[in-house]
Structure 1
């Protein structure tokens, strides 16, 4: 498909004064501020976690996971192997091993009238005991697809079947003499185990060694050392984190103020020409090369680092601006133009790389509008609603989040594969926009031309995303239109009027 330039392909930009150079000090303040703010948040999180963990340890209590159900069609459920090496953990001034950590495992059979067995034994002896016996091995414990601290209410236990076709039946587990600690009986069974050197395995079975095994259980941990020492440590980390966070936010806001003030001075008066006061424009007159898109992810890495830093800055400036809007009804102008500049930078990088794949011209390292073939602008509002600032970014924007999520959120694709250690699983996340850009890349590779129809669709998705960003970041009060405006340019008011007239 031809990509010859037409009048509608050329980006519409309002004339503006030359962008005054930013003082390097503002960038230095911004960078140091982000580093200190992130460090402060991390210290606050660690300090709060330490205090919470200490609180769990009071009165001899264990910090435990919530109950999780585990099933096996075999004769046993075997926990992941764990190695403990306590060499050098004895002597004057060294805490007792029992002070370091003690674990508690609880399990209740979900099968009627079925007694349950729990035991911890040396790996070699347990493996010999279960040789050729169908059982399940726990490979991972996760929450929502990611590892989490105890306390979550949706833990998932990932178990892999071993010897599913085996026919061996194990002897009654309670009769074995290799268990370091064990418990067997009806109802909820519990074992407590202090750390000890060696290779260990946790085993849960029916007390009579029958199959299947279906239990509900939890794991807890406590540390007398933590109960004594985590309080002062957590308090120190919390205070240090708060100081670092406060200083970092102050420097960050100073840097954003200086950079945004320069942008405000160089921005032309608004020219309203579309359905929304946030305008995303692009120039599709030049087709990208066939091959460069293969390495653009590598070439854009410097921009990704800068955008990560700027993204943290926008988070804090938006929070500070929200407080200002709540009391004054105005968005501080310097922070407004700084946030718009960050969105503009992000759009240029997306236009170059994997949000549109529409140009080979490398994006400039600047927050200001330039002659780059992609631009984003938002009209500055003189007044904003004080009440909307409390609800628009989360409650009112939910319909848009759902729609944008359909376009840009990943759809999980999972598959299994055979491996020597058992069955494995792999997964990938694919979005509509990602697939669309992939099709654009394939067409570009084969034909050397940019497919205009798919490019217009991709730009429409990006335009919707940036309108929602404008609303969610408190930059405007106007609700984004629930409409996919495709094409390189925003639809003009005359086009919208004609469209409304045809629809009626």
Structure 2
């Protein structure tokens, strides 16, 4: 006799259909923006910080007992009647009020010692226009720069000669000098700077040709210490803000690629108990995925662990043999690309042997870059000297061989069609800026290498140095940027007709893992599995 089993379980309480899901602001984008802005602020912040420290250090340790910062020229020699400094003393425009320089509290000291003990020397400061008129038609040398001491050679003045007469009227008889001293032996002129355009001259007292002196130019600036402290303060604020943004951006702002958020990843399955208790069904947020671009260029990297805190500081030195070999290989890469250009134009095919060689050069470059350069510092394993793929190495690159290539595209894709990507890569790889000084042109801004990608790698190195960890989100971003770079390089090198996507595919793996399979909710268990 059988006992009847239990009756069917009560049907789950129907759940109301959740409203359409609207995508919230993407936290990954917010973190990416914070990371990029932080990196962009880091460079000027460090520049002001180091500049302020240099100014304060010069004020504290570079002054003499009288408070002057001095520049000594052991020898100033000229065969002309005068040596002038017309553009490097002080220049202010006519619209600049005189009180500006008065507030700066700037003093100039010019000391001159003739090589011949009995010679009478003259040193004077005058308005630039009047000094120019006085020396009109007279030969003279103008100081346009100062060389730095190298290989034991002393510092020297760089002179630019203006031809003319070999004698000048005696400077001691002129009345336009604002400040002047004359006599035998060491002569020292001290002048408080005021607004205007001024110039200095060193001459023989009788205006004759032939000057051979040692000179010392000193500057005492009351604003130097406040300026240094101001730069230090601003640099600390900007650098602190940049570091905070970088740390925020390097943190995982949400689930990693391929990992659903807690409670997400499956359609909403309401719980009868939850519905009964609360009267509503809380539908979890759906898992939003972003499909990766389809590209014949596959770039993969594996983040090794543990990584040395300090080895990244010397990897560039250890990789010098690779750099030398790659310099030669890239010359061959360019030559092979030119040969391939002709072959594609005539036959529509990229010779397989040439293609494999260029892929090997890119693969070698990616391994070395991943070890010590913009690739990300993601491994401490020394790269192999090989064009072939090394299955054991944590960085891989492969490009699918194209059976046919367009003869028409080969004429324009490497320069015209790739221009948008070149502009982007210019920012990513070579878009940082620096201050340089030109002897005749003053200070100017010039581009320097590195770009955003280089800054991100430096930030990763600093994380390793101070925290002994490599933020995963930062690693994914660096590899994604490199993936973009190599896709463009392969396209510009005529190795594919597939236009590089304007898409940042982050992560070390070319194909992200699928989301985990969600567990079966208890309320979906088949009632027929229950036995009496």
Please give the TM-score of this superposition, normalised by the length of structure 1: 0.51
Q: Call closer, same or farther: CA 1:267–1:196 in 2, change over 3 Å.
A: closer
Q: Which residue in the other structure is 1:32 paired with?
A: 37
Q: CA deviation at 1:317?
A: 1.0
CA distance change for structure 1 residues 189 and 340 in 2, over 3 Å: closer, same or farther?
Answer: farther
Is 2:162 aligned against 1:162? yes
Q: Distance in 1 between matches of 2:107 and 2:33?
A: 47
Q: Which residue of 2 aligns with 1:460?
A: none
Which of 243, 247, 270 lines up with 2:244 in the alignment? 247
CA distance in 2, matches of 1:96, 1:179: 20
Deviation at 1:33, TM superposition (A): 1.9
| SS of the residue 1:300 aligns to | helix
Which structure 2 residues correspond to residues 41-440 of structure 1 after superposition, within 5 A?
A: 41-52=46-57, 54-55=59-60, 60-65=66-71, 67=73, 70-81=76-87, 82-84=90-92, 89=97, 97=102, 100-109=105-114, 116-140=121-145, 157-163=157-163, 166-227=164-225, 229-230=226-227, 233-234=230-231, 236-254=233-251, 267=300, 273-274=388-389, 277=393, 289-290=410-411, 300-307=422-429, 308-323=451-466, 335-349=474-488, 363-366=500-503, 368=505
Using the alignment, how far apart are the partners of 1:28 and 1:73 within structure 2?
Answer: 62
The higher-RCO structure (CA 8 Å, 6+ apart) is: 1
Contact kept? 1:75, 1:211, Cα under 8 Å: yes
Question: Is the 8 Å Cα contact of residues 142 and 157 (structure 1) preserved in structure 2?
Answer: yes
Over 3 Å counting, the alpha-carbon distance change for 1:315 and 1:143 in structure 2 is farther
> 2:116 & 2:173 partners in 1: Cα distance?
22
- Secondary structure of the structure 1 residue equivalent to 2:175: coil
* Distance in 2 separating the partners of 1:333 and 1:323: 16
C-alpha deviation, 1:28, in angstroms: 1.5
Deviations 1:242-300 (A, max 9, x none): 5324313423433799889999xx94779994479456666897576446666666762
* Structure with a larger share of its residues in helix: 1
Deviates more, 1:112-121 or 1:71-80: 112-121
Tell me the distance in 1 between the aligned counterparts of 2:167 and 2:494: 60
Structure 1: gaps (5+ residues): 1-20, 145-152, 378-504
Provide, for residues 351-398 of structure 1, a one-character-per-residue CA deviation record: whole Å limited to 9, x for no partner.
666xx687786544455499xxxx999xxxxxxxxxxxxxxxxxxxxx
Query: Partners of 1:190 and 1:357 in 2: how far apart?
Result: 69
TM-score for both structures, normalised by structure 2: 0.49
Alignment check: 8 A CA contact 1:69 1:215 kept: yes
Deviation at 1:62, TM superposition (A): 1.7
Tell me the residue number matched to 1:501.
Answer: none
Whole-angstrom distance in 2 between the partners of 1:259 and 1:129: 76
Aligned pairs, how many? 331
Residues 178-214 of structure 1: CA deviation (Å, up to 9, x unaligned): 2211233455433221122333222123445444434
Deviation at 1:61, TM superposition (A): 0.6
| Residues 44-90 of structure 1: CA deviation (Å, up to 9, x unaligned) | 23542453355357964122345475544432222133533587857
Any conservation in 1 of the 2:166–2:208 contact (CA below 8 Å)?
no
RMSD between aligned residues: 4.8
In 2, distance between residues paired with 1:73 and 1:312? 52
Inter-partner Cα distance in structure 1 for 2:488 and 2:209 = 57
Per-residue deviation, 1:122: 1.8
Between 153-162 and 27-36, the greater mean CA deviation after superposition = 153-162
Maintained 8 Å contact 1:68/1:217: yes
- Where 1:179 maps in the other structure, the secondary structure is coil
SS at match of 2:108: strand
With over 3 angstroms needed to count, the CA separation of the structure-2 counterparts of 1:369 and 1:140, relative to structure 1, is same
**Whole-Å separation in 2 of the counterparts to 1:40 and 1:279:** 36
Quickly say closer, same or farther: Cα 1:215–1:241, change in 2 above 3 A: farther
CA distance in 1, matches of 2:495, 2:208: 63
Change (3 A) 1:197 1:322: closer
Aligned pair in 2 of structure 1 residues 349, 108: CA closer, same or farther (>3 Å)?
A: farther
Kept after mapping to 1: 8 A contact 2:81/2:140: yes
* Deviation of the 1:170 alpha carbon: 0.9
Q: Based on CA coordinates, which of the two structures has the bigger radius of gyration?
A: 2
CA, structure 1 residues 298+110, in 2 after alignment: closer, same or farther (shift >3 Å)?
Answer: farther
SS in 1 for 2:182: strand
Provide Cα deviations, 1:90-141, integer angstroms capped at 9, x if missing partner.
7xxx688275311222344467865543221122321222122222223445
CA distance in 1, matches of 2:114, 2:258: 66
Report the alpha carbon displacement of residue 24 of structure 1 after superposing the two structures with TM.
1.5
